[in-house]
Amino acid sequence: MNPLVLVHGLPDNSGTWEKLYPLLASKFSKISIVGLPGIGDSESILDCCSFDELSDRLVLRLPKEPSIYIGHDFGGILGTVIAEKYPHLISKLVLINAPTPDILRKTIANDSDQAARSSYAIKIQKDPIQILKKNDFAFLKYYLFKNENKLSDVYKASLETMWSDTLTLENIGQYYNLILNSELKVVGNFNQSLNQIWSKCDPFLGEVVKREMREKFHSNEFVEIQSESHWLQKSNPEMLTEIIYSSIKLKS
């Protein structure tokens, strides 16, 4: 069976998989956890001005054999770019609460509900240092921990440590800048199978985004979990594991 690759989203780090990983490891023998460039490490992406360049950097961290790419949030957004650019490296794409970059950007621009849900991204993109300044985590805690009462103290502490790094804050601003301003359009003619997994009541991504994604990839799998959490890997890890396992087993 192809190896699994787990790629986190924003504002997040690889610790997001702390509950899901052991459950997947009981069913799959080869799993890699890959961090986004510049998140939790010393790499700067300030000179990286496009999704193309960022995807090229992330590909260097992926296995050199076809993999089942599981991406949450921005990890999934970037996964749609990689699947289109490097189809030989991705055997299956699993998106957890993640659209394509062009669908998200278009919806933010044209739908008032999604614009309100994404207001945090606009604020971070404009001035990440001020919004996420060192030792000021009110913003982080409000958005990230609002509906996520099951997060471990270790994971919360790791996020606060990550966000206190000025370089990382600048990187996060650049990530959101890509989402809001990139002109990249993912055509979506994937050779790989695609499994979309969504929260029924995602606080960050609304119904228009989900409808656009379902219509664009109508021939692939689409599952909604009854949840108000954006982080299904933390709030619903057992159910998420079974959905991923069943989807992959059917294709193998």
With a cut of 70, which residues of the chain have pLDDT below it?
Answer: 40-44, 46-49, 132-151, 159-168, 250-252
pLDDT tens, 149-158?
566 777 777 7
- How far is 147 from 152, CA to CA, in rounded Å? 13
Contact status, residue 68 vs residue 252, Cβ threshold 8 Å:
no
Q: Which domains does the chain have, with CATH numbers?
A: 4-251 (3.40.50.1820)
Q: What local confidence, expressed as pLDDT, does residue 43 receive?
A: 66
Q: What is the DSSP string of 144-156?
A: HHTT-TT--HHHH
pLDDT tens, 1-43?
889 999 999 878 888 899 999 999 999 999 999 988 877 665 6
Structure-token match 């970059």, residue found? 101
Supply angle C-alpha 246, 75, 52, rounded to 5.
125
Q: What local confidence, expressed as pLDDT, does residue 167 receive?
A: 57
Structure-token match 């770019």, residue found? 81
Q: What local confidence, expressed as pLDDT, does residue 242 receive?
A: 96
